Structures are given as structure tokens and as C-alpha cells.
Amino acid sequence: MFRHVFTTAIAATLISVASVSAAAGPPFELSVERDRLFGGSAGTLAFTADGIEYRTSDTGDARRWAYDEVKQVQILSPTRIAVLTYEDRGRWRFGADRTFEFTIVGEAVSAELVTFLLERIERPVVTAVMPQYSGEPLFRVRAKHQRQGRGSDGTLVLYDRQLLYVSEEEDASRYWRFADIFSVLKLDRYRLQVTVYEGGSGNTRAFVFELKSDLPEGFYDALWARVNPPALQQGRTVDTRLATTGRE
């Protein structure tokens, strides 16, 4: 009972913090500062129905990207966003693509904005802010995310259409659509590895979770089946997307 109340309280806190934002619909606008080593700039990061725009008086920094021109959007915390693009970083960087990192000043990323982006971006999205979602979880288990330097405590929560890692640390939480997960692996009785598309260009990142109790019976099988749907089902999903978007 205590674990259920504790986990519910964490999720409610995260959503409450993330919801301190402006309008509940597009365009979503955030006051930001662009982070870079030399000569940062300030402006507005706008998310519209068609794409993302960085509006600033520094004309050299101003940008606009259609959603299909963005390699990956990373919401690293309620106050940090990175936009990974296909733009070359310069002749001396040998084709390396440019990443625009922003610190949000004032209002934070909202659950509505995350939901909006997930509905418009087919490529993997990284988000530490929970979007709007509903339904009862299939399974939950307390866990520690093992990472270099300092881990985090939280709860793995499996829903029918998504996997969550919910933590009190604002940059540690993650929300994954199953299509954004590369693989899952049960390392042993108390360790689960979730490898996700994080970093753009097909790069992956492995999240290793040390479970604080036995993995609930059926949890791994249910997760694996959703990450690895039958080939026939995958084909139907692709056909549906092509019919909807008109792409060939």
C-alpha cells in the first residue's frame, strides 16, 4: 500500500511541476537561453503545428525546423531541452551534426507540450517530463537506475502502450513509447536492461535497473512482447502510417 501511494505521489509531483506552462495548445512558447561555450543568446522557443522555431534577435542563431527535419528532441528536465538537427557543425567537424541546447527561464515544460510532440514526431523522443496518459498500469516495481557517478531511485511502471521510469530526481525520469525502445534484456533475477534510442542517428543508450524485489511474474514477458511485436503486426503498422501520411 505504501509503495503504491509513494509511486502515485511521485508521478503527481512530476506532472504538477511540468504543467507550470503557458497555453494548453499550440503554439507552445518558452523563454529560453541557448547554451554554448561562447556567445550564448536568449529568445523564445516555439512549438507550432508545423515545427520548432527559435526566435531571437541574434540573427545568426535564429532557426526554424520542420518536425521531419529534426533528428531528435530531448526534454532532459522540466527546464532543459536539446534539439538535435541535421545541420553540419562546420568544415572542421567532419560532418558532425549540430545540437542546440536550451535552458528554460521562467515557465517549465508542460505535460501538454510533451503530449503534443509525441503525437507529431515519429522519430524517438527523449523526455524526462511525463506526458498526459491514462489507464491502469499492468505492472510496477521499485528499482534503482545504475549510472556512472550517481544513480537514482524510482519505479518502473509498465502500461499497455508505454514504459515509465518515475523518479523524484527531475532529470532521471523517462517515458518511452515501445517503438522508441531498441531492446529489453533480463540480465538476472534482479537486473533489467532497457536499451533505447537516445542520441539521434540510431544511437542507443542502455538503462540498467537494479530491482528492489523480484520482477513481478509476467512483467518481462509482457514488456518483451510489446517491444518486439510480430512481424505481421509491424507491417500493418507501417502500411497504416504510409496510408495516413501519403509517403511511399
| Domain residue spans of the chain | 17-127, 133-230
Q: Are 7 and 14 in contact (CB under 8 A)?
A: no
Residue 106 CB: number of other CB atoms within 10 A? Answer: 11
Beta bridge partners of 93: none
Q: Which residue has the cell 531571437?
A: 56
One-letter-per-residue 3-state SS of 206-230: EEEEEECCCCCCCHHHHHHHHHCCC
Handedness of CA 176, 138, 141, 182 (dihedral sign): negative
Q: Are 74 and 109 in contact (CB under 8 A)?
A: no
Q: What is the mean pLDDT of residues 67-77?
A: 96
- The packing angle between helices 111-120 and 2-18, to 10°, is 80
Phi, psi of 5 (to 5 degrees): -65, -40
Cell of 223: 514488456
Cα–Cα distance for residue pair 165/150, rounded to 1 Å: 16
Q: Give the percent of the chain with pLDDT over 90.
A: 67
CATH 2.30.29.30 fits 17-127, yes or no: yes
Provide the pLDDT confidence category of residue 91 given band limits of 50, 70 and 90: low
Q: Is the pTM of this model over 0.75?
A: yes
The tens digit of pLDDT for each residue in 179-222 reads 999 999 999 999 999 999 998 888 999 999 999 999 999 999 99
Average pLDDT, the chain: 84
The tens digit of pLDDT for each residue in 157-182 reads 999 999 999 999 989 999 999 999 99
What architecture is the 133-230 domain classified under in CATH? Roll (2.30)
Angle at 129 between CA 126 and CA 132, to 5 degrees: 105
The tens digit of pLDDT for each residue in 177-186 reads 999 999 999 9
Cα–Cα distance for residue pair 46/51, rounded to 1 Å: 8
Is a pLDDT exceeding 50 seen at residue 230? yes
Q: Which residue has the cell 544511437?
A: 203
Would residue 163 be called left, alpha or beta, if left means φ above 0 and alpha means ψ between -120 and 50 degrees?
Answer: beta
Is a pLDDT exceeding 70 seen at residue 236? no
- Topology alike, domains 17-127 and 133-230: yes
Determine the straight-line distance between the first and last CA of the chain, rounded to whole angstroms: 51
Q: Which residue has the cell 532529470?
A: 171
